[in-house]
Amino acid sequence: MEKAEIKSLYPEELKKRLVQFGEPPFRAGQVYEWLHQKLATDFSQMTNIPKTLKEQLEQHFTLCVLEPAEVKISRLDGTRKYLFRLADGNVIESVWMQYHHGNSVCISSQVGCRMGCRFCASTLDGLERNLTAAEMLEQVYRIQTLTGKRVSHIVIMGSGEPFDNYDQIVRFIRLISEEKGLNISLRNITVSTCGLVPEIRRFVGEGLPVTLALSLHASSDQVRKTLMPIANRYSLNEVLDACGEYFAATGRRLTFEYSLIKNENDSQAEAEALSRLLKGRHGHVNLIPVNPVKERNYVRSDRRSIEKFKNVLEKNGIPVTIRREMGQDIHGACGQLRRSFILS
């Protein structure tokens, strides 16, 4: 029988397994605490667990631990970019950022991605595989251990499309917000999607009031199709309606991400159209100057166009911010550290 990954289990699942071994139920609580609060990397560290049980755990479960293959630390703002090696040899990126409100980790949800957004480095080689909930938790646990600082915020905005890995993402969100674990508030978790409509609808029913961020990047279906293949499957109206359902169910205001690309989606006419599209949609726009990817010839909008774009939205009463860029000296576009590592 294939071993189960112990860190992916909910508390009640772990309890069921241990009771099957003939253990008293309280043992499950102790083991869970070692895994999700003390962030143990080996069963042998569990000092209050009997040796026989540790042997059984070893025999029946795997324990996912990520090893940093490379770390880059920004001299500008302390942002750290980690390249983690997975058990099967794949590598993924995670980023740690310090803000006045706390420390935030940006995690990857897949190795690669199959969504094909034209400006994105993570998708250039397609999807390799989904990450497990344990591998997503481990990105946070390892970073908290390595920095020695409590993580308070999570953004699921690294490589991958979270809703293309639906079951593991939901499991990850429940485990990371579990009070017997790191207990990160759902209000401090953001899930970013390119807009998979059936999964957004399904997510409405999970009862998880996180922040939903939609990657919009265009104000018309026509332009969006030139940037994001997913726009051929779902229209802007469909995806915005699904987001509206999420707002209605959770009361959580939406975020609309809009990467500004010179001469592609950054005109004032597009800002006007975007204002009309988002009027009454209960969200704010996050403008991101596009990170140029060397395999693509997209160019970042200049500062003046970005300011003008923002002013149009503001004049029309749409809340808007320009994303503060963290770790610019170590950045490159998302997914590029992994890419340069694989190709080297």
Residue ranges in contact with ligand SAH by CB under 6 A: 115, 117, 119-120, 157, 161, 192-194, 215, 257, 259, 288, 290-291, 293, 333-334
Residue type, position 162, single letter: P
Residue type, position 185, single letter: S
Residue 226's closest CA among 270, 276, 193? 270
93 as an active site residue: the answer is yes
Report the nearest approach of ligand SAH to the CB of residue 292 (Å): 7
The nearer residue to ligand SAH, 95 or 151, going by C-beta atoms, is 95
Beta strands in 74-202 (DSSP E): 80-85, 91-99, 102-106, 110-112, 127-130, 153-156, 189-193
Report the nearest approach of ligand SAH to the CB of residue 116 (Å): 11
Report the nearest approach of ligand SAH to the CB of residue 238 (Å): 16
Q: Annotated catalytic residue: which of 5, 93, 135, 257?
A: 93
Q: Are the C-beta atoms of 92 and 131 separated by less than 8 Å?
A: yes
The nearer residue to ligand SAH, 9 or 157, going by C-beta atoms, is 157
Burial profile 64-80: b = 16 or more Cβ within 10 angstroms, e = fewer: bbbeeeeebebeebebb
Q: Are the C-beta atoms of 261 and 298 separated by less than 8 Å?
A: yes
Cα 105 from chain centre: 9
Residues in the chain: 344
Q: Are the C-beta atoms of 176 and 188 separated by less than 8 Å?
A: no
The nearer residue to ligand SAH, 48 or 297, going by C-beta atoms, is 297
The nearer residue to ligand SAH, 35 or 115, going by C-beta atoms, is 115
Q: What is the DSSP string of 254-293?
A: EEEEEEEBTTTT-SHHHHHHHHHHHTTS-EEEEEEEPPP-
Report the nearest approach of ligand SAH to the CB of residue 259 (Å): 4
Report the nearest approach of ligand SAH to the CB of residue 295 (Å): 11
**Those residues with Cβ within 8 angstroms of residue 321's Cβ, 6 or more apart along the chain or in another chain:** 284, 285, 286, 287
Report the nearest approach of ligand SAH to the CB of residue 144 (Å): 22
The nearer residue to ligand SAH, 74 or 286, going by C-beta atoms, is 286
243 as an active site residue: the answer is no
The nearer residue to ligand SAH, 54 or 284, going by C-beta atoms, is 284
| Residues labelled as active-site residues | 93, 334
